[in-house]
Amino acid sequence: MLEAYIDDSASDFRADKRLILAGYLQSAEAWERLTEDWTAELARPPALASLHMITCFQGWSEKAREAKINSLVAVLAKYKPLSIECSISRAAYLEDLSGSVPYDLRHPYFPCFVGIMHGVVETVLEEKLEGPVELIFDEQGKVGEDAALWYVPLKHMNPAVADVLGGPPRFASDHEVVPLQAADMLAWYVRRAAETRCTARQREVADALRFRHRHMEIPDSLVMAWSEAFQYVPGIEHTKGRRGSTSKLMRELVARLPSDRVVPALKKITRRATWLRRARSTFMWLGLERIWKRLAHRKFTIR
* Residue at 66 is within a domain: yes
Give SS3 for 211.
coil
From CA 259, how far away is CA 39, in angstroms rounded? 37
CB neighbour class for 2 (10 Å; exposed up to 12, middle 13-18, buried from 19): buried
What type of residue sits at position 176? E
* Residue at 285 is within a domain: no
Decide if 155 contacts 117 (C-beta within 8 A): yes
Give SS3 for 205.
helix
* Residue at 248 is within a domain: no
What type of residue sits at position 280? R
* Residue at 294 is within a domain: no
* Residue at 199 is within a domain: yes
Considering its fold, how many domains does the chain have in total? Answer: 1
Nearest to 110 by CA among 122, 94, 124: 94
Give me the count of residues in the chain.
303
* Residue at 70 is within a domain: yes
Q: What is the bridge-based pairing of β-strands 133-138 and 170-172?
A: parallel
Nearest to 64 by CA among 50, 44, 49, 78: 44
CATH of the domain at 107: 3.30.420.10
From CA 111, how far away is CA 78, in angstroms rounded? 32
pTM: 0.84
Domain containing 65 equals 2-233
* Residue at 75 is within a domain: yes
* Residue at 177 is within a domain: yes
Per-residue pLDDT of the chain (303 residues; tens, 9 = 90+): 899 999 999 876 566 688 999 999 999 999 999 999 999 999 999 999 999 998 989 999 999 999 999 999 999 999 999 999 999 998 888 888 877 777 778 888 989 999 999 999 999 999 999 879 999 999 988 888 888 888 888 888 888 888 899 988 999 998 899 999 999 999 999 999 988 888 999 999 999 999 999 999 999 999 888 888 887 777 777 777 777 677 777 777 767 767 677 666 667 766 666 655 555 556 555 666 666 566 665 544 444
